[in-house]
């Protein structure tokens, strides 16, 4: 197939995907899905900027734009079909990128068809395009995650979407030094009773119930971006998250994805002296290619009168 014909097919594919998006956007999605779609729009703007400033080749740009269109189409479709405000975990990969699925055995592309299951973790929901050919995967639900009567998850974390979540424990004070007996001909006076060391009240939490791990953006993957991304946010006693701030960013779409992951977090409020309080916590994301981990740390109380 000539390069000209391949480009024509890709442009046609993008146009069709764009038309599907226009009709799907009429659906009144919930805030989680809307925010995710907005993050895709931001990625598209970033791609346009990189192409305009010659930071990206036209071939790589076309591939990345097609991938974003597919992500949007299938997230909108599944959210509308299921009538729930949750973003399904979708991966849009070429045959060379299937290592991102984290499977021990990389599947042969020729053996895949719609409905194929991979390692009981991924399902093929579409095969799109010619050059490149995209395989659209959805991560399967984990049957070990249960819900209560209101439909909220009751497991501490959602293993479908998370590699590692660590919540730092408060530092415990060192124990007092042991009293050593010394032999003497005279009876030793009893040692003075140690004065109790006052301990400041300890903040318990916030306790994470569900955390969605951000996926790598295509720009960051293409440029091999790795490193720590640091975000702070206020976890309020009414179970809302406010004032999300990127303290140390990585760019290339990763900052917005990390903010969205924090925004979608479900948690139990922090407790101090048997009552819920507002706290600010810092969340450290570590991005390394094909793996992302997150650590919750540095929790401090917020002046509730200002919140």
- As a whole number of angstroms, the distance between CA 65 and CA 48 comes to 9
Confidence band, pLDDT 50/70/90 cuts, at residue 188: low
* 131 within 8 A of 9, measured Cβ to Cβ: yes
Tokens of 273: 């002296």
Mean pLDDT on 182-190: 60
Tokens of 56: 């990206």
What are residue 139's DSSP bridge partners?
A: 122
Instruction: Give the pLDDT confidence of 70-93 residue by residue, as tens digits.
Output: 999 999 999 899 888 888 888 888
- As a whole number of angstroms, the distance between CA 139 and CA 134 comes to 16
Whether pTM > 0.85 for this model: the answer is no
Q: Which residue has the tokens 């600010």?
A: 280
> What pLDDT is recorded for position 211?
81
When mean pLDDT is compared across 24-38, 101-115, 135-149, 156-170, the lowest value belongs to: 156-170
DSSP H/E element including 189: none
Instruction: Give the pLDDT confidence of 25-35 residue by residue, as tens digits.
Output: 446 888 888 88
> What pLDDT is recorded for position 140?
85
- As a whole number of angstroms, the distance between CA 263 and CA 210 comes to 11
Query: Residue 13 pLDDT more than 50?
Result: no
For the chain, state the CA radius of gyration: 25
Confidence band, pLDDT 50/70/90 cuts, at residue 10: very low
When mean pLDDT is compared across 36-40, 97-101, 256-260, 302-306, the lowest value belongs to: 302-306
**Among 278, 205, 268, CA closest to 236:** 278
**Among 116, 122, 108, 7, CA closest to 66:** 7
Query: Residue 150 pLDDT more than 70?
Result: no
Q: How far is CA 106 from CA 109, 110, 197, in A?
A: 9, 12, 59
* 9 within 8 A of 130, measured Cβ to Cβ: yes
- As a whole number of angstroms, the distance between CA 217 and CA 6 comes to 25
94: left (phi over 0), alpha (psi -120 to 50) or beta: beta
Instruction: Give the pLDDT confidence of 260-271 residue by residue, as tens digits.
Output: 889 888 899 999
Domains in the chain (CATH in brackets) are 3-139 (no CATH), 204-306 (3.30.2420.10)
- As a whole number of angstroms, the distance between CA 251 and CA 167 comes to 25
Confidence band, pLDDT 50/70/90 cuts, at residue 306: very low
Mean pLDDT on 92-111: 80
User: What is the widest separation between alpha-carbon atoms in the chain?
Assistant: 104
**Among 64, 62, 72, 70, CA closest to 29:** 72
């Amino acid at each position: 197939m000539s390069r000209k014909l391949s480009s024509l097919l890709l442009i046609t594919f993008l146009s069709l995907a764009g038309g599907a998006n226009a009709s799907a956007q009429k659906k009144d999605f919930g805030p989680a899905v809307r925010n995710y779609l907005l993050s895709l729009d931001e990625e598209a703007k970033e791609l346009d900027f990189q192409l305009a400033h010659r930071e990206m080749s036209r071939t790589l740009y076309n591939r990345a734009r097609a991938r974003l269109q597919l992500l949007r189409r299938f997230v909108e479709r599944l959210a509308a079909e299921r009538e729930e405000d949750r973003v399904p975990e979708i991966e849009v990969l070429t045959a060379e990128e299937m290592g991102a699925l984290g499977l021990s055995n990389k599947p042969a592309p020729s053996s895949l068809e719609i409905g194929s299951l991979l390692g009981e973790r991924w399902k093929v929901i579409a095969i799109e395009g010619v050059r490149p050919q995209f395989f659209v995967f959805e991560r399967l639900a984990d049957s070990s995650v249960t819900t209560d009567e209101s439909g909220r998850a009751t497991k501490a974390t959602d293993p479908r979407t998370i590699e590692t979540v660590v919540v730092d424990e408060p530092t415990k004070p060192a124990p007092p030094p042991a009293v050593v007996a010394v032999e003497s001909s005279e009876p030793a006076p009893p040692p003075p009773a140690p004065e109790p060391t006052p301990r400041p009240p300890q903040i318990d939490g916030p306790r994470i119930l569900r955390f969605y791990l951000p996926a790598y953006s295509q720009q960051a993957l293409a440029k091999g971006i790795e490193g720590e991304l640091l975000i702070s946010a206020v976890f309020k006693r009414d179970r809302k998250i406010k004032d999300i701030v990127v303290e140390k960013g990585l760019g290339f779409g990763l900052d917005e994805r990390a903010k969205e992951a924090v925004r979608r977090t479900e948690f139990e409020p922090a407790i101090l002296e048997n009552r819920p309080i507002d706290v600010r916590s810092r969340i450290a994301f570590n991005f390394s290619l094909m793996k992302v981990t997150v650590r919750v740390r540095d929790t401090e109380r917020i002046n509730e009168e200002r919140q």
